[in-house]
Amino acid sequence: MPDTELTVIPTAHRERLARLSYPAVMTSADASRAADDLAFCQSIRKHVELAKSDTLAPLRSRLDALRAQYDAALEAIAGAEARVKDAILSWRQQERIERARAHQAAAAAQAALAEAEAVADAQAAGLSEQAADEIGVSVARTVQAQVAADIAPAPLPTAVAGEAGTASVRVDWTFEVEDYRLVPREYLRVDDVLVRAAVRKGIRDIPGIKVFARETIVGRRRE
């Protein structure tokens, strides 16, 4: 591949570009010379941009084709990974439900034993069957609530090991907006795209935003 720095910009032009320096434009004559130098810079820039486009076009086409092939392969892999991860997450959710059920069942079993003992004690104390049953129900509720609060369900494993690797669980905090009206101002930002579009349409008065003109220099080379 040829040396683009040497072939695209002739030596004389590169030397002129290196000499261009404008500490200040003091007179209209200085401004005229600056306009000529600007036209020279734009002419050289156009030439370099065309050379760049001609040089990179075939390379870009080849790169685009290769990128498309790799992206397609990566997309297929990502889809497979997502399906596997979703399956593991679904299993974890189902396992969480099953363990919660087992926890509640264990608490209910202890409550049933406590209820039976309370009813037997009440009847032995000479209380009526209805009164004994009411005491038993109250004790059962208390015991079940206490057991459920004191003993947590068995925790889920943080990793699942297979023969080829391990699938670990990572907890990432995220969010979704429920009511924009309640979001504090420090978490809101101005939509730069919408504001610029409004300014381009001629809107000059936007509450809280200063719209102002800024000068820039645009050169045009005479043909």
Q: What is the pLDDT of residues 13-52, one digit of tens each?
A: 888 888 887 667 778 988 888 888 888 888 888 888 888 8
> Among candidates 85, 141, 91, which has minimal Cα distance to 112?
141
Alpha helices for the chain (secondary structure H): 4-8, 11-19, 28-124, 129-150, 192-200
Identify the three-state secondary structure at position 206.
strand
User: Distance (Å, rounded) from C-alpha 166 to C-alpha 80?
Assistant: 16
The type of residue at 93 is Q
50 SS3 class? helix
pLDDT of residue 202 exceeding 90: yes
170-196 pLDDT tens trace: 888 888 989 988 999 889 899 999 999
SS3 187: helix
Residue 161's DSSP bridge partners are 166
For residue 6, pLDDT beyond 50 = no
Residue 2 has pLDDT above 70, yes or no: no
Find how far residue 143's CA is from the centre of its chain.
46
Helix axis angle, 28-124 to 11-19, nearest 10°: 80
pLDDT in tens, 68-111: 999 999 999 999 999 999 999 999 999 989 988 888 888 888 88
What is the average pLDDT value for the chain, to the nearest integer?
Answer: 86
Give Cα separations from 207 to 73, 198, 203 (angstroms): 49, 13, 11
Is 210's pLDDT higher than 70? yes
What confidence score (pLDDT) does residue 106 get? 86
End-to-end CA distance of the chain: 32
Predicted local distance difference test score (pLDDT) of residue 4:
45
pLDDT at 211: 95
What pLDDT does 164 receive? 87
Are residues 140 and 115 in contact, defined by beta-carbon separation less than 8 angstroms? yes
**Domain spans of the chain, in order of start:** 4-169
pLDDT tens by residue, 102-140: 888 888 888 888 888 888 888 888 888 888 888 888 988
Strand, coil or helix: what is 182?
Answer: helix
pLDDT at position 7 over 70: no
Residue 5 clears pLDDT 50, i.e. is over it = no
